[in-house]
Chains A and B, each alone.
Chain A
Amino acid sequence: MSMQTQLLLIVLAPLVGAMLAGLLGSRLGKRLTHRLTIVGVLISFLLSLRIFWGFLYGNATPVDITVYYWASFSELSIQIGFMIDSLSALMMVVVTFVSLMVHIYSIGYMHDDNGYQRFFSYLSLFTFSMLMLVMANNFLQLFFGWEAVGLVSYLLIGFWYQKESAIFANMKAFLVNRVGDFGFILGIAAIFLLFGTFDYAPIFKTMGQAEEIMKISERSAENALGLMSLDGSFVAWGDISWPIITFICICLFIGAMGKSAQVPLHVWLPDSMEGPTPISALIHAATMVTAGVFMVARMSPLFEFSETALTLVTIIGAITALFMGLVAIVQSDIKRIIAYSTLSQLGYMVVALGVSAYSAAIFHLFTHAFFKALLFLGAGSVIVALHHEQNIHKMGGLYKRLPFTYWTTLIGTLALIGTPFFAGFYSKDAIIMATEQAQGPAASFAYFAVMAGVVITALYSFRMLLVVFHGKTKLDQQQFSQLTESPRVITWPLIALAVPSLMIGWLMTGTMLDGDYFGKSLMVLTGHDTMQAFREEFTGAMSFAVHGFMTPVFGLMLTGVMTAVIFVWLKPGWGATAGKMLSPVNRLLERKYYFDEVYQKVFAKGSHSLGDVLWQYGDKAVIDDGIINSGAQTLGRIGQVLRKLQSGYLYHYALVMVLGLVGLLLWILLRG
Chain B
Amino acid sequence: MLEQLPILSFLIWIPVIGGLVIMFGPGDRLLSISQRVGILLGIITLLLSCWLAWAFATNTADMQFVEASRWIPSLNIRYELAIDGISLPLIVLTSLIGLLVLISATASIKKRQSQYFAAVLMMTGLMNGVFAAQDAILFYVFWEAMLIPMFLLIGIWGGPNRIYATVKFFLFTFFGSIFMLVALIYMGREADSFAISDLQKLPLSLTEQKWIFLAFLLAFAVKIPMFPVHTWLPDAHVEAPTGGSVILAAIMLKMGGYGFLRFSLPVTPDAVAEYAYWLILFSLIAIVYIGLVALAQKDMKKLIAYSSIAHMGFVTLGTFIIVYLTAMQAQSMALQGAMVQMISHGLVSGALFFSIGVLYDRMHSRDIADYGGVVNSMPVFASLLMLFILANAGLPGTSGFVGEFFVIIASFQADWRIAMVAGLTLILAAAYSLWVYKRVIFGKTANEAVARLDDVTKRERLVLFTLAILIIALGVYPQPLIEIMQPSLEKIIESATLSKIGGIG
Which residues of A does B touch, CB under 8 Å?
68-76, 140, 143-144, 147-148, 151, 154, 158, 161-162, 164, 167-168, 171, 174-175, 178-179, 181-182, 185-186, 188-190, 192-193, 196, 234, 237, 247, 607-612, 614-615, 618-619, 623-624, 628, 631-632, 635, 649-651, 653-654, 657-658, 660-661, 664, 668-669, 672
The answer to whether B295 and A628 touch across the interface, beta carbons within 8 angstroms, is no
Residues of A within 8 A of B401 (CB): 147
Give the residues from 332 to 390 in chain B that come closer than 8 angstroms, CB to CB, to chain A.
Answer: 332-333, 336, 373, 375-376, 390
Knowing A632-B167, A672-B75 are in contact, say whether A74-B427 is a contact too (CB < 8 A).
no
Knowing A167-B442, A608-B296, A653-B151 are in contact, say whether A193-B413 is a contact too (CB < 8 A).
yes
Give the residues from 403 to 450 in chain B that come closer than 8 angstroms, CB to CB, to chain A.
Answer: 405, 408-409, 412-413, 416-417, 419-420, 423-424, 426-428, 430-431, 434-435, 438, 441-444
Q: Is B72 an interface residue (CB 8 A)?
A: yes
The answer to whether A653 and B166 touch across the interface, beta carbons within 8 angstroms, is yes
Knowing A161-B443, A189-B419, A653-B166 are in contact, say whether A631-B171 is a contact too (CB < 8 A).
yes
Q: Is B203 an interface residue (CB 8 A)?
A: no
Knowing A74-B486, A181-B426, A650-B155 are in contact, say whether A668-B408 is a contact too (CB < 8 A).
no
Among listed B8-16, B60-68, B140-148, interface-contacting one: B140-148
Q: Which of B231, B297, B476, B490 has the most CB of A within 10 A?
A: B231
For residue A138, give the distance in angstroms from its CB to the closest CB of chain B.
13
Q: Is B292 an interface residue (CB 8 A)?
A: yes
The answer to whether A76 and B333 touch across the interface, beta carbons within 8 angstroms, is yes
Bound-complex Cα distance A649 to B151 (A): 12
Give the residues from 159 to 208 in chain B that come closer than 8 angstroms, CB to CB, to chain A.
Answer: 163, 166-168, 170-172, 174, 178, 181, 185
Which residues of B does A touch, CB under 8 Å?
72, 74-75, 141, 144, 147-148, 151-152, 155, 163, 166-168, 170-172, 174, 178, 181, 185, 228, 231-232, 289, 291-297, 328-329, 332-333, 336, 373, 375-376, 390, 395-397, 401-402, 405, 408-409, 412-413, 416-417, 419-420, 423-424, 426-428, 430-431, 434-435, 438, 441-444, 476-479, 482-483, 486, 490
Q: Which of A73, A247, A608, A661 contacts B332 (CB 8 A)?
A: A73
The answer to whether B396 and A174 touch across the interface, beta carbons within 8 angstroms, is no
The answer to whether B395 and A624 touch across the interface, beta carbons within 8 angstroms, is no
Residues of A within 8 A of B390 (CB): 151
Knowing A182-B424, A182-B426 are in contact, say whether A654-B148 is a contact too (CB < 8 A).
yes
Residues of A within 8 A of B442 (CB): 158, 161-162, 167
For residue A191, give the distance in angstroms from its CB to the closest CB of chain B.
10
The answer to whether B185 and A179 touch across the interface, beta carbons within 8 angstroms, is no
The answer to whether A189 and B438 touch across the interface, beta carbons within 8 angstroms, is no
Knowing A669-B72, A669-B74 are in contact, say whether A192-B431 is a contact too (CB < 8 A).
no
Q: Which of B395, B424, B444 contacts A147 (CB 8 A)?
A: B395
Beyond contacts A178-B427, A607-B428, A628-B232: 6 other A-B pairs, Cβ-Cβ < 8 A, are A189-B416, A190-B416, A607-B295, A615-B297, A628-B172, A650-B166
| A to B CB contacts below 8 Å, 13 in the list | A71-B482, A76-B332, A148-B396, A148-B397, A162-B443, A167-B438, A167-B442, A185-B423, A189-B408, A608-B296, A623-B231, A628-B171, A657-B174
Residues of A within 8 A of B483 (CB): 73
Number of A-B pairs, beta carbon distance below 8 Å: 177
Closest 5 CB pairs of A and B: A189-B412, A611-B296, A611-B292, A612-B296, A611-B295
The answer to whether B332 and A74 touch across the interface, beta carbons within 8 angstroms, is yes
For residue B364, give the distance in angstroms from its CB to the closest CB of chain A.
23
The answer to whether A185 and B490 touch across the interface, beta carbons within 8 angstroms, is no
The answer to whether A71 and B416 touch across the interface, beta carbons within 8 angstroms, is no
Q: Which of B181, B293, B441, B490 contacts A618 (CB 8 A)?
A: B293
For residue A631, give the distance in angstroms from its CB to the closest CB of chain B.
7
The answer to whether B141 and A661 touch across the interface, beta carbons within 8 angstroms, is yes
Bound-complex Cα distance A618 to B401 (A): 29
The answer to whether A73 and B295 touch across the interface, beta carbons within 8 angstroms, is no
Bound-complex Cα distance A153 to B115 (A): 47
The answer to whether B152 and A654 touch across the interface, beta carbons within 8 angstroms, is yes
Knowing A192-B409, A607-B292 are in contact, say whether A178-B430 is a contact too (CB < 8 A).
yes
The answer to whether B413 and A192 touch across the interface, beta carbons within 8 angstroms, is yes
